[in-house]
Amino acid sequence: MDNPLLYLSISVLFIPIISFLILIFFGKRLPRRGDWLATGLLFLNLIISIIILIGLTNSGVYSISFEWFNLGASPLFGELRFSAGFIVDELSAIMLVVVNIISSFVHLFSIKYMEGDKKYHRYFAFLGLFTFSMLGIVLTNNLLIMYVFWELVGVSSYLLIGFWYEKKAPYEAAKKAFIVNRVGDVGFFLGILIIFTTLHTFNFSEIFAGVEAGRLSGGLLTAAGVLLFCGAVGKSAQFPLHVWLPDAMEGPTPVSALIHAATMVAAGVYMVARKFVMFSPDALTVITYIGAITAFIAASIAITQNDIKKVLAYSTISQLGYMIMALGIGAYTYAMFHLVTHAFFKACLFLAAGSIIIGMHHKQDVGDMGGLRKKMPITYYTFLISTLSICGVPFTSGFLSKDSILSASLAFANINGGFHYIIPVVAFGVAALTAFYMFRLLIKTFYGEPRNKEAYDHCKESPFVMTAPLVGLAILSFFAFYTPNPFNAESGWLVKMLEAPEMILAGTSGAVYKILPKVEFLEAVHHAHYTAMFLSLLCAGIGILAAYLFYHWKKVNVKKLTETFNPIYKFSLNKWYFDELYDKTIISGTFLLTRVSNWFDKYIVDGLVNGSGSFTQFSSKVSGKFDNFFVDGLVNLTGGIVAFFGLIFRKIQTGRIQTYIAFLIFGILILFFIFRDML
């Protein structure tokens, strides 16, 4: 613990919780209700985390563990030692900077966005709590501690989604988010238990050492990997647990930008990346396909949604699917790279959406917008840059990261062959869909004639505290921050820093999938790079062109098209009927179960209880009768006999000494006559 970076990382972890504590207890009494304090602390945090990142580039990995508590020896597991600790390596340092940049910008943005809210100070307190928990996930080197922070993140997300709990929709959404996440977390916890029972440790490096030594292998390793991934499925809104994220958009928009676009949902990706080296080929197959399915489903839903935040939410799910898929195919570096770039442009998109929503006086339907380009120029340009970035247009950060993932997916298919070609097909298809729906959103919002004249007339550009974060995040969407070469990220500092670790099971193959050693895999990616770049540009171009044809130049009658393909349109508009499906199956199944257990409780359990009650009542009546007649009778009889004799003998006790003397004489005379022979 002699390295200053460790002290700095600990202070980075605890500064947001200090902000939370101060605001939750004293926020009401502080001037301006403490927003300057929270924002200031977060910017301080940002500076410290940048120092950590810079300090780390020329030194190694720092980690520290200490014993948290010890439950003593147990017959099954030996000594139960629970440790806690930090790790500062490239991965966590980069995540620190990303989380702090987004969090501090969101704090700044919220000052105006949440102005005048009743619970203003509490909002900033919750932001602090969230940042603390997220940084905890990033900094820990221990599964148990990660699980604790994982749940804390869930709680703060719950608090922030349901921030306006006076209304029905937000609290319903908060409950949904929390419960759906719980489903994934059960899997996560079971995975932790498998690891602990086999390896007796929570520490990451000890776990990896244990896997390398073969103490956890085969089907159990796959099960552990898939179960750990379940946590990511919940938190990162992957199919089939993606249903909570669109609903979570009921929370304040800056919260959506911070939690449900950039950081918390990336926690799942981070978690998988953190344990990347221990996954078995079969677990990686599951991860790959879940990611691809999610990316496709979400993109197909996003093209028909009309709520600006819903489109962005599905776009987020789709991009998270990309990252998960990238991890599954072994492209660790590119997944994390995409996580970083996506965090910035998606946070920018969400904050821009927030700016639009404020401008439109809380109207979120794109049907009410249109022509906002002239009214909100800064918002427009930042939104445009982020959109270009997410679509993968050259010279943006999104182009670099997406292109890397697409090349990796192509390389993966080339290596494994067969039906695995579906992965790059889905990936490129989703890229085209992404370009289409993002430009659809852009055109519908900013171009054309205003569709709601009244709202349009009242609309004006947002103030500086809101546009400044937008501009900052938009600038971070340019390639120059990541690499000097706008067409290849390989030479950039970020990719170099996020060099993939060698997988423990590299070179082994599962049922359908072979993990290649790192060098061979990178070779294959290089080989696929130019093809992939060409194809991705083509896809993005087709998507953008289609969006312009459909919505700007109106060459294609969209209405007619939706009528022709009505079933498909309806299917997408209703989000593949996932909510209805879950409603019909899981939720009504649960209700059925509750009814059955209610019946069981009412008739069987209550019957048993009541039966034993009436039996006791009956037996108590019997023994009451016995008591009354027999026991009391005996007691009374004894008493009666004594009283009877008392009645007789009390006559003698006159209290007169003369009577006693008379008896005495009489007695003596009797004795005298009895014993006279002996005299």
Partner 1 sequence: MEVGLNHFLIVSALLFGIGLFALVSRRNAILVLMGIELMLNAANINIIAFSRYGGLGVDGQVISIFVIILAVAEAAIALAIVLNIYNNFSTINIDEVRTLKE
By CB under 8 A, name the binding residues for partner 1: 655-658, 661-662, 665
AA identity, residue 409: S
Identity of the residue, 597 or 659, whose beta carbon is nearer to partner 1 in the bound complex: 659
Identity of the residue, 7 or 663, whose beta carbon is nearer to partner 1 in the bound complex: 663
Nearest distance from residue 649's CB to partner 1, in Å?
17
Nearest distance from residue 668's CB to partner 1, in Å?
11
Identity of the residue, 623 or 659, whose beta carbon is nearer to partner 1 in the bound complex: 659
Nearest distance from residue 655's CB to partner 1, in Å?
5
Q: Which residue has the tokens 């709680």?
A: 155
Nearest distance from residue 664's CB to partner 1, in Å?
10
Cα–Cα nearest to 330, from 531, 507, 140: 507
Nearest distance from residue 669's CB to partner 1, in Å?
11
Could you give the CA distance from residue 358 to residue 364 in angstroms, rounded to a whole number? 9
Nearest distance from residue 648's CB to partner 1, in Å?
20
Nearest distance from residue 646's CB to partner 1, in Å?
18
Nearest distance from residue 638's CB to partner 1, in Å?
29
Identity of the residue, 219 or 655, whose beta carbon is nearer to partner 1 in the bound complex: 655
Cα–Cα nearest to 248, from 319, 172, 302: 172
Identity of the residue, 609 or 662, whose beta carbon is nearer to partner 1 in the bound complex: 662
The DSSP annotation for 262-287 comes to ISHHHHHHHHHHHTGGG--HHHHHHH
508-to-210, 279, 282, 283, 515 alpha-carbon distances in Å = 17, 11, 11, 13, 6
Tokens in use for 640?
A: 């009666």
Identity of the residue, 629 or 672, whose beta carbon is nearer to partner 1 in the bound complex: 672
Terminal C-alpha separation, the chain: 115
Nearest distance from residue 675's CB to partner 1, in Å?
19
Cα–Cα nearest to 102, from 480, 470, 495: 470
Identity of the residue, 592 or 665, whose beta carbon is nearer to partner 1 in the bound complex: 665
AA identity, residue 277: V
Buried b (16+ CB within 10 A) or exposed e, 338-370: bbbbbbbbbbbbbbbbbbbbbbbeebbebebbb
Identity of the residue, 58 or 658, whose beta carbon is nearer to partner 1 in the bound complex: 658
Could you give the CA distance from residue 54 to residue 432 in angstroms, rounded to a whole number? 37
Tokens in use for 628?
A: 């009354």
Could you give the CA distance from residue 525 to residue 656 in angstroms, rounded to a whole number? 130
The DSSP annotation for 54-95 comes to HHHHTS--EEEEEEEEEEEEETTTEEEEEEEEEEESHHHHHH
Identity of the residue, 1 or 657, whose beta carbon is nearer to partner 1 in the bound complex: 657
Identity of the residue, 556 or 661, whose beta carbon is nearer to partner 1 in the bound complex: 661
Could you give the CA distance from residue 392 to residue 76 in angstroms, rounded to a whole number? 53
Could you give the CA distance from residue 403 to residue 540 in angstroms, rounded to a whole number? 11
Backbone CA torsion sign across 262, 264, 265, 270: positive
Cα–Cα nearest to 458, from 328, 329, 359, 601: 359
Identity of the residue, 555 or 656, whose beta carbon is nearer to partner 1 in the bound complex: 656
Backbone CA torsion sign across 322, 326, 327, 333: negative
Identity of the residue, 74 or 658, whose beta carbon is nearer to partner 1 in the bound complex: 658
Q: Which residue has the tokens 């270009």?
A: 388
Identity of the residue, 69 or 649, whose beta carbon is nearer to partner 1 in the bound complex: 649
Identity of the residue, 168 or 656, whose beta carbon is nearer to partner 1 in the bound complex: 656
Could you give the CA distance from residue 130 to residue 58 in angstroms, rounded to a whole number? 30
Distance of CA 265 to the CA centre of its chain: 7
SS (H, E, C) 182-201: HHHHHHHHHHHHHHHHHHCC
657-to-13, 651, 668 alpha-carbon distances in Å = 102, 14, 16
Nearest distance from residue 647's CB to partner 1, in Å?
19
The DSSP annotation for 614-674 comes to HHHHHHHHHHHHHIIIIIHHHHHHHHHHHHHHHHHHTTT----HHHHHHHHHHHHHHHHHH
Nearest distance from residue 651's CB to partner 1, in Å?
16
